[in-house]
Amino acid sequence: MNNKKLFRSTTNRMVCGVCGGLGDFFGIDATVIRILYVVISLITSAGLLGLILYFILAVIIPEDDGIVIAYTSVYGHTKMAVQQLADKFRSKGCPNVVVYDLARDDMSQALSDAFRYSKLVLATTTYNASIYPFMNDFITRLVEHNFQNRTVGLIENGTWAPLAAKVMKEMLSKCKKINWLNTNVKIMSAVNEENRKQMEAMADELCQEYIAKSDDLANKSDMTALFRIGYGLYVVTSNDGKKDNGLIVNTVTQLTDNPYRVAVNINKANYSHHVIQQTGIMNVNCLSTEAPFSVFEQFGFQSGRSTDKFAGQKVNHSDNGLVFLDKYINAFMSLKVENYVDLGTHGMFICSVTEARVMSDQDTMTYTYYQKHVKPQPQTEGKKGWVCKVCGYIYEGDELPEDIICPLCKHGAVDFEPIEG
């Protein structure tokens, strides 16, 4: 996967650096891109359209990686917060940090840099149930010039009922592809300890990639990196001789295609692990994006040792005699275990494929899709503690026990994260 970001070139440019930036991104000589642009424009008589497209790209594509902070401050408290935040950005490796006092600095230069850099923080005070006039003017000009494709964070200040963040966000709602930070800073007149924590969180969010690239600052033991691996989600079905069983797994991998071999990893604590070791067969049901949360509750949040997970369900059977799901899958495979690898907490079953059917053209459910679109969002407001990233279970307490097991999905401490205040 190409992890490079697209920027306009500052060194290889004839006009705005668009062709140079495209050349750097795709690994193509920018001169070739320029020649193709001219030839296509002449052949298709689309010169004017091509010129318009060029300048649209010049607006959309940032020129450099960095952060602009544009602010207004009445009594100096917002200015103080901005200075502290800028220092945090620099300490976390941001290559360019540019700060503008919109009431005193050159507005046109601030606008130019807002389009030049990839990230923007707006900080202002609530003023007559709106925002300070200089900030209002600045955002109005951004919208007029089609500001888009940027990451934006907000800082608001007000004595008792700050409205600035809401107003700024509404004004920028006309702009396309704005990535809003999860963290906003809400100052009630003067900066306090809670605001410093908010600014630290904002700096961590905006500077995540800079921190990760730094040998000195990076967390080199951040095992949440494993969640970036592209996982599908599957229901593995088996039968213990008395009843059908199923569980959710996310580690199914094709190993070879001649012959077809598939590896399935299952936690030894799961009843299905014991059953498959005894029987040597299983079905892997590929969940589609149509699968509701109830499927995960049915197969992931209860044990087949004590529960008949298929009670009252319509079932289908493959040639090996095992169940495959009646709905919410786009394919299933029947597997026969050939080898077993003991991985400590888990067992890897290396299997041959004895049967395979495609049920629909629906996309396969991924772990990322499940997290964003299927799993209910936990109700953490007013609570202090930890939340399970898999099922949303909330553990209330100052410290998370190292040996905690989620009572719903049975995942351990590594899958909990602190509730943000």
Domain made up of 376-418: CATH architecture? Single Sheet (2.20)
Q: Provide the total of helices (H) and of strands (E) in the chain, helices listed first.
A: 12, 19
Q: What's phi and psi for 373, nearest 5 deg?
A: -125, -15
On whether the CB atoms of residues 188 and 158 are closer than 8 A, the answer is yes
How far CA 171 is from CA of 72, 130, 149, 164, in Å, comes to 17, 11, 16, 11
On whether the CB atoms of residues 172 and 155 are closer than 8 A, the answer is no
Tokens of 299: 């197969």
| CATH (residue range 234-358) | 2.30.110.10
> Which 3 state secondary structure label does DSSP give 48?
helix
Taking the C-alpha atoms of residue 148 and residue 30, their distance in angstroms, rounded to an integer, is 24
Lowest mean pLDDT among 18-27, 146-155, 230-239: 18-27
Taking the C-alpha atoms of residue 386 and residue 396, their distance in angstroms, rounded to an integer, is 6
The single-letter DSSP state of residue 349 is E
Exposure string of 286-301, with b = 16+ CB inside 10 Å and e = fewer, is: bbbbebebebbebbbb
CA-nearest of 198, 128, 202, 122 to 161 is 128
The single-letter DSSP state of residue 414 is G
N-terminal to C-terminal alpha carbon distance within the chain: 35
Q: What's phi and psi for 219, nearest 5 deg?
A: -85, 105
Whether 212 has a pLDDT exceeding 70, the answer reads yes
Neighbours of 189 (CB within 10 A): 14
Query: Could you state, in order of their start, the residue ranges of all structural domains in the chain?
Result: 18-60, 67-213, 234-358, 376-418
Domain made up of 67-213: CATH architecture? 3-Layer(aba) Sandwich (3.40)
Tokens of 291: 């699968």
Q: What is the mean pLDDT of the chain?
A: 86
pLDDT band at 330 (very low <50, low <70, confident <90, very high): very high
Q: What is the pLDDT of residue 1?
A: 37
pLDDT tens-place string over residues 37-61:
667 666 765 556 666 665 566 555 6
Q: What's phi and psi for 71, nearest 5 deg?
A: -145, 160
Contacts (Cβ under 8 Å, ≥6 apart) of 352: 259, 260, 261, 335, 336, 338
Exposure string of 82-102, with b = 16+ CB inside 10 Å and e = fewer, is: beebbebbbebbbebbbbbbb
Q: What is the pLDDT of residue 100?
A: 96
Q: What is the pLDDT of residue 9?
A: 54
pLDDT tens-place string over residues 351-391:
999 999 999 889 999 988 998 899 887 787 778 888 888 88
Lowest mean pLDDT among 24-28, 199-203, 213-217: 24-28
> Which 3 state secondary structure label does DSSP give 43?
helix
The upper half-sphere exposure of residue 139, i.e. CA atoms within 13 Å in the direction of its Cβ, equals: 26
pLDDT tens-place string over residues 275-325:
999 999 999 999 999 999 999 999 988 888 989 999 988 889 999 999 999
